[in-house]
Structure 1
Amino acid sequence: MYKDEMIQLHQFLVYVLKYLENGYDIKDECEEYFSLNISPHHIHRTKAEHKYAIFVLSSAISEILARKEGNNLPPNVVNGLSELARRSRKEVVKMEARLEAK
């Protein structure tokens, strides 16, 4: 996926989060995403950083839906997205380490 497509997906997920914000208390589930301080408008951020933000946000949204909608979302979806976020974080850490080594 190209960086601009990732940014568009990131923006879409932010819209979903804003929609969910109207009906649910989302602060706890989204704490990690908010702490990243990466928004779709930060086009100077790397593709890996946006990818990580997308996975963290997707994971948060799935947790919100799983807890609030009577567990209609299978646990493997929530767990899978959390695992993808963890793997993506490793990629970002590796990239940052390479940049610092230069």
Structure 2
Amino acid sequence: MHKEEIVLLHLTLFHIKRLFEQAGIANGHFKLYDSLDVQPVHIHKSKADHKKAILMLCKGITEVFKETPPDEVLRNPKMKELLEVVG
């Protein structure tokens, strides 16, 4: 993948993280990602840094779904509200 594509994937996963946090679903699941200090807007960071950030976001998202099944996530009232605004 080209760096631009990696950054776009990073941005997409970052938005999922934000949705979970705003819905109150993420309870420390993204600490590793936050400690990396690499965000999608940090385009000066290396491709490898963005790949590592993507892996940490995927790990956090996986942990959320291990604790809360996807159908339960979608039934969360705050998540429903956020998805209506986004969609």
**TM-score, scaled to structure 2:** 0.74
- Long gaps (5+) in structure 2: 73-87
Once the 2 structures are TM-superposed, how far is the Cα of residue 66 of structure 1 from its aligned partner? 1.5
1:21 corresponds to: 21
Residues 1-102 of structure 1 mapped to structure 2, 5 A cutoff: 1-69=1-69
Greater relative contact order (Cα < 8 A, sep 6+) = 2
1:55-89 deviation per Cα after TM superposition (whole angstroms, max 9, x unaligned): 0111111111111227x9xxxxxxxxxxxxxxxxx
Give 1 or 2 for the bigger CA radius of gyration.
1
Q: Which amino acid aligns with 1:11?
A: L
Question: What's the Cα RMSD here?
Answer: 1.7
Aligned residues: 71
Could you say which residue in structure 1 is the equivalent of 2:79? none
Amino acid at match of 1:3: K
- TM-score, normalising length from structure 1? 0.64
